[in-house]
Structure 1
Amino acid sequence: MKLLRLSTQLHKWIALVVGIQVLFWVAGGLVMTAIPIETVRSEHHVREQTPVPLVLGTVRALPEVAGALDLVPTKAELRSTARGPAWVLTPVEGDPVTVSAVTGTPFGALEAGEASRLAASAYTGTGVPGEARLLPEAPQETGREGPIWRVDFSDTERTTFYLSPETGEVLTRRSAVWRFYDFFWRLHIMDLENGEDFNHPLIIVATLLTLSIVVTGIILLWIRLARDWALYRARRN
């Protein structure tokens, strides 16, 4: 009886403490399984692009570009962008440097009208692009740093495209669906500030307490089933 009483008290009070978080875990799990990840990432709003071939004769060689920038890259990527071919050079320290592969110098400033046009050309759907805004610092939801162009569309999901200020490429897509999903993800991992850390002490403690609820619940079930079985046999005898 002492074991039953102790298990009942532990089960009741611990469940009271972590019950709301368990509800968040279940609700978050439901959201994350019910909404396709492709919808969360707005992949259905990405227009299929025809690859633009690089004309190598117009592209400056990597040693020439890196030498002009006085930079020794640990990684170099040549890619085609809406504003022409670009070299993306990653130095030993610091952020990657993006320059035109034709001139070897940084791209000219991207104007708002061109940013809206490039966003619209990368988008498919019923929405109309709003006025492009150059943000001096990328919002947390982009997972990036530094300046970034933002273009909002008027579709039902309130889709947002974030574009590179250098190349005009769409770096990140966000929407009301993504923000709804992200809210429940933060609740799920108990990191409301950044939504990134799922190994912090709070969630570990909450998980251990939840495990104790399961264990005490099993003990209670076992004791009560054994008691009911004993009563059943006593009645038959």
Structure 2
Amino acid sequence: MAQKKRSSNWRVWHRWLSLVFGLQMVIWTISGAYMVFFDLDYIHGDHLVQNISKPLPEGTEVSDLDKLLTRYPETKKASLEALSLDGTLQPVYKLQSDKGEFLVNAKSLERIEITQHHIEDLANRYYAQESADIESVVYMTDNPPTEISETLLPVWRVNYDDFGNTSLYLSETTGDLLVKRHTFWRGFDIVWMLHIMDYDERVDIETWWLKAFIIGTFILMITGIVLLLYTITFKRRPIGGAQ
């Protein structure tokens, strides 16, 4: 009789713990399966874009670095690149200073202002999939979506009308591709949030929520094991107490 009462108590605990922690266990299973079955390179969207960098033609004339640094003394780092703007391949200097990055024409040393037209053209060059129309182009200065870091602002977002609702984020000053997002990445971001139970930043894998639920799930498993042992013991007992 005492054993039956103890079994009943364990069963009550197991049911209550199942109600509290059972749903999260299901979420862990589903989110874990999503992260395992989808290739990480696919999630990152590597298949969506291509490298558009090209070498400078031999003999290209550019202003020397002394003139460049005289005109832009705040420069911390400079690199010479070829960039297709307005339908022509142009030599440009990409300059980095304490205030950020920007481009200058490598011949005239005039600063290059990246326009929406440039962004659309560059985005189409980066985009590696079969022909898809640009759905919208948005210049973002604040309130970014959760799929990008606020540190990227200001930034251009180019949305494509394709299967994955692809979005390319390009630098406002250089036109560089910063990040790419699509439906499956957004799905991964959601299941990752649910998996680690960080509902704000989605980066902390040591939240108190997560630790508490891990401990609670462990206790749930213990109660289940105890109930299993009670069940096995009860079934093995002879009927009527016969020896």
Structure 2: distance between partners of 1:133 and 1:210: 45
Matches within 5 A, 1:133-152: 133-137=138-142, 138-143=144-149, 144-152=151-159
AA of the residue aligned to 2:208:
P
Which protein has the larger Cα radius of gyration, Structure 1 or Structure 2?
A: 2
Query: Would you say how many aligned residue pairs link Structure 1 and Structure 2?
Result: 228
* Alpha carbons of structure 1 residues 57 and 168: separation in structure 2 relative to 1, 3 Å: same
Asked if the contact 2:136–2:159 (Cα under 8 Å) also holds between the matched residues in 1, the reply is yes
Q: Structure 1 or 2: larger strand share? A: 2
5+ long unaligned stretches in structure 1: none
Counterpart position of 1:47:
50
1:26 aligns with 2:29: yes
The answer on whether the counterparts of 2:61 and 2:107 sit within 8 Å (CA) in structure 1 is no
Q: CA 1:151/1:219 → structure 2, altered by over 3 Å: closer, same or farther?
A: same
- Give yes or no for the alignment of 1:173 onto 2:180: yes
Q: Is 2:86 the counterpart of 1:86? A: no
Paired AA for residue 16 in structure 2: W
Q: CA deviation at 1:195?
A: 1.6
RMSD (Å), alpha carbons: 3.3
- Other-structure match for 1:109: 113
**In structure 2, distance between residues paired with 1:11 and 1:154:** 49
Return structure 1 stretches of 4+ with deviation > 6 angstroms: 54-57, 103-106
Instruction: Report the counterpart of residue 125 of structure 2 in structure 1.
Output: 121
How many angstroms apart in 1 are the aligned matches of 2:57 and 2:207?
A: 47
The 8 Å contact of residues 54 and 85 in structure 1, kept in 2 or not, is answered as: no
**Stretches of structure 2 lacking an aligned partner (at least 5 in a row):** 85-91
1:87 partner SS = strand
- Structure 2-normalised TM-score? 0.77
Matches of 1:49 and 1:149, distance apart in 2: 18
Shift of 1:123: 0.7
CA distance, structure 2, for counterparts of residue 9 and residue 192 of structure 1: 31
Aligned equivalent of 2:168: 161
Aligned-pair distance for 1:147? Answer: 0.8
* C-alpha contact (below 8 Å) 1:132/1:149 kept by paired residues: yes
Identity among equivalent positions (%) equals: 20
SS in 1 for 2:179: strand
- Give how far 1:230 is off: 4.2
Q: Return the alpha-carbon distance in structure 2 between the equivalents of residues 13 and 82 of structure 1.
A: 63
Q: Deviations over 1:28-71 (max 9, x none)?
A: 11211222222222211112435435989737549974994447
The worse-fitting range, judged by mean Cα deviation, of 27-36 and 42-51 is 42-51
